[in-house]
Structure formats: C-alpha cells, structure tokens
Amino acid sequence: MVYIVICDDDPDYREILGAKIQGCLQNRFCMECSLTYLADLECLQAHLRDNRVDALFLDILLEEENAMDWSIAHLAAQSTPVIFMTSFPEAAYSISETNCCYYLVKSHIDEVSLTRALQAALRKAAGHDANMTVIRQGSLNRVVNYADVLYIETFNNNLTLHLTDGGRVSVYSSLKDFAERLPPNFLRCHKSYMVNMNHVASFTPHLFTLRSGGTVPIPPKKYKQIVAQYRAYLENLR
C-alpha cells in the first residue's frame, strides 16, 4: 500500500488528480494506494505529524500562501517526498531551497510526467532510512532496520521477521496491519508471506529465491500477478 496526500485548495482538481494517481499506480506500478485530500497547510502539518506519507502532491499557491516557502520552514528536516505542482511557474522561485523530489506544471500533467513524479517519490520512500523502527518484544524494545529484513511470515497473527544476519524477530500482529508500516519495497506475495524485493536474487514457478539462499513461496494461481508486480518494481523503483 502506498500512502499519497494531495494538498490543493481546489476540490475538483484534487479529485481529478487523485483518480489519475490511482490509475497510474495500478496500471504502471501494480500498486494500491490510500489517498488523503487536504485543502490547507495547517491540516497538512497535522497530518504529516501523525501519519505515514510516501508521496505528497503539494500545490505551491494555497489561499494566497506560498507552500514552497512554508515547506522550507517546516519540511526541511523531514524525509517526506514532495512533488510540487503549480499553474504559475513564476511562483516556484525558491524551489532549489526545498526538499522537492519532482516539479509539475498543472497544465502539463500527463501519464508520462505523473509516472516520473511517482517514480521519484517512491524511490525516495523506499530508500530513505526511515527504515529504522522499534519493535516491542515483551519488555525488550528491539531496533530493526527494514532494509535488513529478508522476508516476513505469519502464523496465527504471530509474525516472524527473517533478517540478513540470520536472526529472527517475532511480532504479534496480523500481516495486513503490519504491512501498513512497511516501505514500498515489500511485496505481499503469499497470504502468509511478504518479501523484501531488494533481496530477491531470482524467481521461478513458484518461488522467489533470495540472495541469502532462502526461498519464499508464490501461489500458482497468483504467479503472473505477483511477478508482474515485482517486474514493475524493478522497472520503476530500483
């Protein structure tokens, strides 16, 4: 699941762009998305504080306020991938001072430019080291880097994270709920498994083989779909 925020003060435009993003992610990236629509910078700041965002589409002019200037003051220290949009290119005078990962002129947003913008944002989301997380195991709080997770398996809401060093971390959670915390390089390839696509060495019917030598199953009925998602990841995000 990819978490997208569109912050624009035009409700009609938000809906149109949301539909385009959803279609692009499904058709080009084979990914589902959760879309959040916001109209002002105050709501945006509150949302960013409490929620994961894999890509932020931010209109530069919001109710006469320059969101690019606002982002320099409020987003400089954050890793949120920001895609700036505008109908007035002259308003982008300070873009070099922002953490912008892509820039779109609204009248020129087509499938090609939208794909490139999403590629840039999701590459950043998959690669930045908000990969570090804390997992509680009884009284122990274990720090885990998602980049070191080879794959995840589940049995009766007990998850096991298999790590590159051969270690294992156990978590009590459903795989569906835990997946919401993961970056886009994790693929739900089986009802009981998620694989870190950065560690896949090869695939055959019906297995992913990891660089560590381990394997992760792929259901025969979903083999074509899963492989298509993996190929889309290699093409667009690696």
Structure token digits, residue 140: 């122990």
Q: How far apart are CA 36 and CA 140, in angstroms?
A: 35
156-161 own/partner pairs: CB under 8 Å, 24+ apart: 161/135
Q: How far apart are CA 80 and CA 6, in angstroms?
A: 13
User: Which whole-number Å values give the CA distances from 135 to 113, 161, 193, 213, in the listed order?
Assistant: 38, 11, 19, 26
Instruction: Print the SS3 string covering 133-173.
Output: EEEEECCEEEEEEHHHEEEEEEECCEEEEEECCCCEEEEEC
| Cβ neighbours, 10 Å, residue 121 | 25
Which residue, chain included where needed, has tokens 């990969």? 131
Q: What angle do CA 140, 126, 57 make, to 5 degrees?
A: 115
Structure token digits, residue 98: 């922002």
Query: Using an 8 Å Cβ cutoff, are 169 and 137 in contact?
Result: yes
Structure token digits, residue 69: 């200037």
Residue 21 dihedral angles phi and psi, to the nearest 5°:
-65, -45
pLDDT of the chain, 238 residues: tens digit per residue: 899 999 999 999 999 999 999 999 999 999 999 999 999 999 999 999 889 899 999 999 998 788 888 888 888 667 789 999 998 888 777 788 787 889 999 999 999 999 999 999 998 887 645 567 888 877 888 888 999 999 999 998 899 999 999 999 999 999 999 998 898 899 999 999 999 999 999 999 999 999 999 999 999 999 999 999 999 999 987 6
* DSSP structure class, residue 200: E
Provide the pLDDT for residue 192. 96
Sheet holding 55-59, edge to edge: 33-38, 2-7, 55-59, 82-86, 100-105
Which residue, chain included where needed, has tokens 């978590």? 171
Which pairing describes strands 207-210 and 200-204: parallel, antiparallel, or unpaired?
antiparallel
Query: Using an 8 Å Cβ cutoff, are 121 and 58 in contact?
Result: no
Q: How far apart are CA 87 and CA 178, in angstroms?
A: 39
- Residue 125, SS3? helix
Provide the pLDDT for residue 132. 73
pLDDT in tens, 131-142: 678 888 778 888
Q: Which residues contact 192 (CB under 8 A, 6 or more apart)?
A: 153, 154, 155, 175
Structure token digits, residue 190: 């089986």
Provide the pLDDT for residue 191. 95
Provide the pLDDT for residue 127. 65
Structure token digits, residue 171: 């978590």
